[in-house]
Structure 1
């Protein structure tokens, strides 16, 4: 039996079968499928959150750890020689649950410290010994694919991995939450900034707008009057008006509101700058 016959006889993944059953898709390539999904969103066949999750799944296996990792310069390390009170102070300041433990010169990784493991030393700090509680670190290369990293997280039951470069030096770290967010979107926890909004004021009458912001939210915050029934998101509104996926710095004026593309890729708009009261801005 030919390999193609074997492949065709195997059952489709459930998510692929769902798309075939629910959408009229004629996609022949990965890129065409993503475009079809965006059109399904614009026509309100699928909700924006559903489309983003499917897009995240489709792109997940092609992404590498280096694309999502926290760089070394932003990592909160714990010194292996730090005493109990110094460690508590560091945790109180940064409020993380896990920390890479390095030697004094920060050129050798010792392991991972989990903050809750320190609870046993409350009231008996004199008995604290780092080597008793530091755990082995999950080590991954920068080039590792996210689908493989997810499998390693599940198999090792780890929630954090230390990222190494080609010379085995620590170059960053990545968490289970970072990986999951590539599929489901940002996950806010109790330490995330509550002011991380879809629409942020940059200057008078000038806003930075996430492309997935709903048209109704845009109208509410900016006082605009775009038709809510036509398109769910600001990205859909702009792409329909321009008749394409615009490039960075391209501009569009709709109802005296200026939309400028700040971030985009080959398939979608990511971030826009929106200016209102254009007549007033020109007068100034």
Structure 2
């Protein structure tokens, strides 16, 4: 009798578990948590692959986000001043490689419009001096920080614009959002042809200046620079630097660690991307000695 009862209990438990699985796939999800469970279960059953699961999760995450959650903050916005000449703009254009820039008048709270680099190049290549930067501007789309990201993506697609300026409740500019920022939430970070230049972890730029990917493993960095950063503190040099700052640093911020100066040369609102590393001039370049 006991064995029959035991078999019966196991059978009931298995049936109950199967009933739950069946209910997930046959019943309509009641909320987002139910939908997440359906997606995770589908991945476990190999109905969808991991990439599809990640994208579906990204779509669900976007549905809960506001513009403030994904915007490039004001401090990291690359802008052009309305009074700048083409020659004055070029260093900024070459450094950032963006396709469009907000154009400001005096400060970032006064947005005159959006400049598309292709519009600028068209006039620059013509060699004409009879044009004004103001004449090339597209209207700036202004949105509140509370704007739903899924609704913004729909507007981007319907109205065919790619950038929106985010303002706070007082009308001050707090950041910007591009269509790429939204898509990255769904499919992961999108790299372009310029990002391939960063495949080399450490690149010597001058006698004491190096360009270093923030994703460079700590052991590789230590070996190259003769430093002793703790691999248990972080796996990458970007993690070491971020921990030392104690906050997400802005582009241009510097910090000194183990006789090296680290300058943030590229970052977004989520992570460090590229660092400039400067050796103190009194530091002996051991790699040069080894070559001799």
Category of TM-score, reference length = shorter chain: 0.5 to 0.7
Contact between 1:121 and 1:128, CA under 8 Å: does it hold in 2? no
What secondary structure sits across from 1:161 in the alignment? Answer: strand
41 and 66 in structure 1: CA distance in 2 versus 1, 3 angstrom threshold? same
Counterparts of 1:160 and 1:37 in 2: how far apart (Å)? 31
What per-residue deviation string (whole Å, max 9, x for no partner) do you get for residues 140-189 of structure 1?
Answer: 11110012101221232101111111111111111111112222222221
Aligned to 1:269: none
Counterparts of 2:36 and 2:134 in 1: how far apart (Å)? 49
What secondary structure sits across from 2:107 in the alignment? Answer: coil
Contact between 1:71 and 1:173, CA under 8 Å: does it hold in 2? yes
Counterparts of 1:202 and 1:29 in 2: how far apart (Å)? 43
Aligned to 1:244: none
Aligned to 1:87: 89
What secondary structure sits across from 1:127 in the alignment? Answer: coil
Listed as ranges, the gaps of 5+ residues in structure 2 are 1-20, 202-212, 220-229, 237-292
Aligned to 2:62: 60
Counterparts of 1:36 and 1:200 in 2: how far apart (Å)? 37
Q: CA RMSD in A?
A: 2.9
The structure carrying a bigger helix percent of its residues is 2
Aligned to 2:163: 160
- 1:114 matched to 2:116? The reply is yes
Q: How does 1:127-166 map to 2 (within 5 A)?
A: 127-166=130-169
38 and 195 in structure 1: CA distance in 2 versus 1, 3 angstrom threshold? farther
What per-residue deviation string (whole Å, max 9, x for no partner) do you get for residues 214-244 of structure 1?
Answer: xxxxxxxxxxxxxxxxxxxxxxxxxxxxxxx
Count residues in correspondence: 188
205 and 48 in structure 1: CA distance in 2 versus 1, 3 angstrom threshold? same
- 1:98 matched to 2:128? The reply is no
Moved more, 122-131 or 84-93: 122-131
171 and 127 in structure 1: CA distance in 2 versus 1, 3 angstrom threshold? same
Q: How does 1:4-43 map to 2 (within 5 A)?
A: 24=25, 27-43=29-45
What per-residue deviation string (whole Å, max 9, x for no partner) do you get for residues 30-58 of structure 1?
Answer: 21321342243244332111111112222
138 and 125 in structure 1: CA distance in 2 versus 1, 3 angstrom threshold? same
Aligned to 2:194: 191
Deviation, 1:123, is 5.3
What secondary structure sits across from 1:162 in the alignment? Answer: strand
Counterparts of 2:102 and 2:130 in 1: how far apart (Å)? 21
Counterparts of 1:194 and 1:65 in 2: how far apart (Å)? 31
154 and 45 in structure 1: CA distance in 2 versus 1, 3 angstrom threshold? closer
Contact between 1:53 and 1:183, CA under 8 Å: does it hold in 2? yes
What secondary structure sits across from 1:191 in the alignment? Answer: helix
